[in-house]
């Protein structure tokens, strides 16, 4: 199957200030790099163990970036991120809520499990939206993308916590989009399917050649997603190219959500029938 190719991009984000949570790895890192290519001034958050690596690499490419290392579950940390961004750049134009805890627990989930997944996920997303709303109003509006998942729409074994939290992200997007539309602030959701990130690589034991064909059976394109393939539609929704799109969800899943129970039909009783 075809892989994503290098594209030539216009400076859609020249001098725009963008906060990307979880911007040091995986999907977040791909979003940050793509925004840098299009002229954005960047503020990203990272886990303490990942701090100090991404910004020097971005600066070598000529991009302007600052980093905040900490835990998105903390209200004080969220405030520090927005205040620090305003202190550095004087404005906020866009936000990508990406950082999330991959805490997938089922019937044995504890109160601590539920608290962790909700406060790092949808609660932190809501806090960040609250905090950037006023700065965005001051510059005449802005746009926000929340990174959700196909897991928000389906049942998966032993995934009560993660799937519930992702479902909450989708509903948060709709409610926030309604309340902030009159201020020129658009809010949308991207829902990726299986994407080759650190967590997925861990689930695969690092063996992509073995696991990609297995996971690929659940996508019309018969492979998993690359982080850049989530980044590009995210930038579209952030940009003025999507000026009449708000409160909606874009699946970036290779056709996962479109597939029926017979799968690709290669070995089912439906194959070859009318």
89 is catalytic: no
The 10s digit of each residue's pLDDT in 253-267 is: 999 999 888 888 876
The C-alpha atoms of residue 226 and residue 88 are separated, in whole angstroms, by: 32
Mean pLDDT for all residues in the chain: 92
Residue 135 lies in a domain: yes
Tell me how many domains the chain contains.
Answer: 1
Q: Answer whether 221's CB lies under 8 Å from 1's CB.
A: yes
Residue 136 lies in a domain: yes
Output the DSSP codes for 161-180: HHHHHHHHHHHHHHHHHHHH
Question: Model pTM?
Answer: 0.92
Q: Taking residues 218-243, report their average pLDDT.
A: 96
Q: Taking residues 201-205, report their average pLDDT.
A: 80
The C-alpha atoms of residue 147 and residue 22 are separated, in whole angstroms, by: 11
The 10s digit of each residue's pLDDT in 37-67 is: 999 999 999 999 989 999 999 999 999 999 9
The C-alpha atoms of residue 164 and residue 114 are separated, in whole angstroms, by: 10
Range(s) of the domain holding residue 128: 17-196+226-258
Residues 6 or more apart whose CB falls under 8 angstroms from that of 122 comprise 165, 168, 169, 172
Residue 12 lies in a domain: no
pLDDT of residue 266: 74
Taking residue 183's Cβ as centre, other Cβ atoms within 10 Å add up to: 13
pLDDT of residue 71: 96
Q: Answer whether 107's CB lies under 8 Å from 157's CB.
A: no
Q: Answer whether 226's CB lies under 8 Å from 195's CB.
A: yes
Residue 250 phi, psi dihedral angles, 5° rounding: -115, 120
Question: Is the confidence at residue 270, as pLDDT, over 50?
Answer: no
Residue 270 lies in a domain: no
Single out the catalytic residue among 63, 162, 218, 256.
162
H/E element holding 160? helix 160-180
Residue 269 lies in a domain: no
pLDDT of residue 10: 72
Residue 212 lies in a domain: no
Residue 36 lies in a domain: yes
Nearest CA-CA partner of 18 in 97, 110, 112: 97
Residue 21 lies in a domain: yes
Supply the CATH number for residue 175's domain.
3.40.50.720
The 10s digit of each residue's pLDDT in 134-165 is: 999 999 999 999 999 999 999 999 999 999 99
């Amino acid at each position: 199957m075809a892989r994503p190719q290098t594209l030539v991009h216009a400076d859609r984000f020249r001098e725009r200030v963008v906060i990307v949570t979880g911007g040091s790895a995986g999907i977040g890192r791909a979003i940050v790099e793509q925004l840098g290519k299009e002229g954005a001034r960047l503020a990203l958050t990272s886990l303490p163990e990942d701090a100090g690596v991404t910004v020097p690499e971005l600066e070598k490419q000529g991009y302007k970036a600052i980093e905040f290392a900490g835990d998105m579950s903390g209200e004080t940390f969220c405030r520090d991120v927005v205040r620090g961004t305003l202190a550095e750049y004087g404005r906020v134009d866009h936000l990508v809520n990406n950082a999330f805890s991959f805490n997938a627990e089922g019937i044995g989930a504890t109160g601590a499990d539920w608290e962790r997944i909700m406060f790092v996920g949808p609660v932190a997303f809501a806090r960040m939206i609250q905090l950037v709303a006023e700065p965005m109003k001051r510059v005449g509006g802005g746009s926000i993308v929340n990174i959700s998942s196909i897991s928000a729409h389906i049942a998966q074994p032993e995934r009560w916590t993660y799937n519930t939290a992702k479902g909450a992200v989708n509903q948060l997007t709709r409610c926030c989009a309604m309340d902030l539309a009159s201020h020129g602030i658009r809010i949308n959701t991207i829902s990726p399917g299986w994407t080759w990130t650190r967590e997925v690589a861990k689930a695969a034991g690092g063996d992509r050649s073995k696991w990609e064909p297995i996971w690929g059976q659940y996508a019309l394109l018969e492979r998993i997603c690359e982080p850049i393939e989530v980044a590009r539609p995210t930038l579209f929704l952030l940009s003025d190219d999507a000026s009449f799109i708000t409160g909606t969800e874009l699946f970036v899943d290779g056709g996962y959500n479109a597939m029926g129970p017979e799968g690709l039909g290669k070995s089912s009783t439906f194959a070859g029938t009318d």
